[in-house]
Amino acid sequence: MPKTPTTFYIVLIATVMLTGATGCSKKGVQSAGDQTSQPGTAQSGGSGTSSSSKSGVGSFPDTSMQSGSGGLKGLDKNPSEERVGAGEERLGGGSGAGSGTMLAKADPSGSAGRQMDEIRAEQAASSAAGLRDVYFGYDSWTISEEGRQALGRDAEWMKSNPSTMIKVEGHCDERGTAAYNLVLGEKRAKAIRNYLVELGVGANRLSVVSYGKERPFCNEHAESCYQQNRRGHLVVRTGK
């Protein structure tokens, strides 16, 4: 049996603590979005040939290119002095020479602390529940017989704990592209969700998310590790 992901979470928690974020505000995540974004996961209806929807769409600045010679003034036989500042590349918006910082520093007072607390709570609730993970073949999202047995027991637990909300995480091994693995991870998570629904678990209790190959349980370049990373991981949601 593959080892439990406990060590992974210990490492994660330690790391999050090391980043030193103590604040729990969402400032770092959505600071500028207050006036622009519309958080929410409203499902838009229909799946026709095209759909037009403005919900869940934030504002866009004008980002069209100002083409030119990139602020170069050309060589000169008797050059006059040019002031070189970090902001002169116009990465920072203004073309003003020497206009200070070109890249803002990351705001560490973001949600790292909150993430840590929530991950810890989820992990505790999930190990208490004893939910079993499901493992997949290479490039595959088909649930094996062993996976069906594991999900059968998971479904029993969910039925006897009807108030719980479950998140199904889809994970992949390191092979393949990051982008395609996100699609593959979603296929795995949805296959699990669909099977749990077949077993009688309410669809409204199940959410799916794909982490692709971005949150591996182990990091060795070997099949023994790959097979642990090709998994659907069931988590008891403790937050909203």
Partner 1 sequence: MSGMKLAGAALGTVLFVAGAIGILESGAADVFLEATRPDFQKISLGVLGIQNGGGPEWLGGRLEEVLKKDVKRSLVFDLVDLPSLGIKVRDVGNGVGNGSKTVFKQAADNGVSVLVWGKAALKEGEKDSDVNMEGFVYDSGSDEVVGGKRYAGSPSVVRLMAHRFADELVFRYTGEPGIARTKIAYVSAQGAAREIYVMDYDGYDSRQLTADGFLNLMPRWSPDRRFLVFTAYRDRNTQDIDMIELATGKRWTVFSQGGLNITPALSPDGNFLAFASSHEGNSEIYRLDTRTKANQRLTVNPSGDLSPSWSPTGRELAFVSDRGGGPQLFLMSADGSNVRRLTFEGDYNAAPAWSPRGNWIAYVCRTRKEYKLCVITPDGQKRMQLTTGGGVDDSPSWSPDGRHLVFSSTADGKSHIYMIDSDGKNAERLTFEGTHNSAPAWSPAS
Which parts of 116-155 interact with partner 1 (CB under 8 A)?
116, 118-119, 139
Q: Are 149 and 136 in contact (CB under 8 A)?
A: no
Give the shortest CB-234-to-partner 1 separation in angstroms: 14
Q: Tell me how far CA of residue 85 lies from CA of 68, 76, 143, 219, in angstroms.
A: 19, 20, 57, 41
Is residue 191 close enough to count as binding partner 1 by CB under 8 A?
A: no
94 vs 200 by CB, closer to partner 1: 94
> Cβ–Cβ contacts within 10 Å for residue 225, how many?
16
- Residues whose CB is less than 8 angstroms from the CB of residue 131 and which lie 6 or more positions away in sequence, other chains included: 154, 157, 166, 234, 235, 236
Q: How far is the CB of 154 from partner 1 (least distance, A)?
A: 19
d(CA 229, CA 236): 19
Least separation in angstroms between residue 192's CB and partner 1 is: 15
3-state secondary structure of 172: coil
164 makes contact with partner 1 (CB under 8 A): no
Site stretch for partner 1 (CB under 8 A), options 47-55, 129-137, 147-155, 197-205: 47-55
User: Is residue 53 involved in binding partner 1 (CB under 8 A)?
Assistant: yes
Tell me if 227 contacts partner 1 by CB under 8 A.
no
Query: 52 CB contacts (<8 Å, ≥6 apart)?
Result: none
**Shortest distance (Å) from residue 138 CB to partner 1:** 10
Under the binding rule (CB under 8 A), the answer on residue 47 touching partner 1 is: yes
Look up residue 232 and give its amino acid.
G
Q: How far is the CB of 224 from partner 1 (least distance, A)?
A: 17
What's the rounded Cα separation, in Å, for the pair 139 and 53? 33
Nearer to partner 1, 88 or 133 (CB): 88
Of 64 and 204, which has the nearer Cβ to partner 1? 64
Is residue 31 near partner 1 by the rule CB under 8 A? yes
Question: Per CB under 8 A, which of residues 89..118 are in contact with partner 1?
Answer: 89-94, 98, 101-108, 110-113, 115-116, 118
Binding residues with partner 1: total (CB under 8 A)? 112
Could you count the other beta carbons within 10 Å of the beta carbon of residue 138?
12
Q: Which residues are within 8 A (CB) of 198 and not within 5 positions of it... i.e. 6 or more apart?
A: none
Q: In what helix (H) or strand (E) does residue 117 lie, and over which residues does it extend?
A: helix 112-129
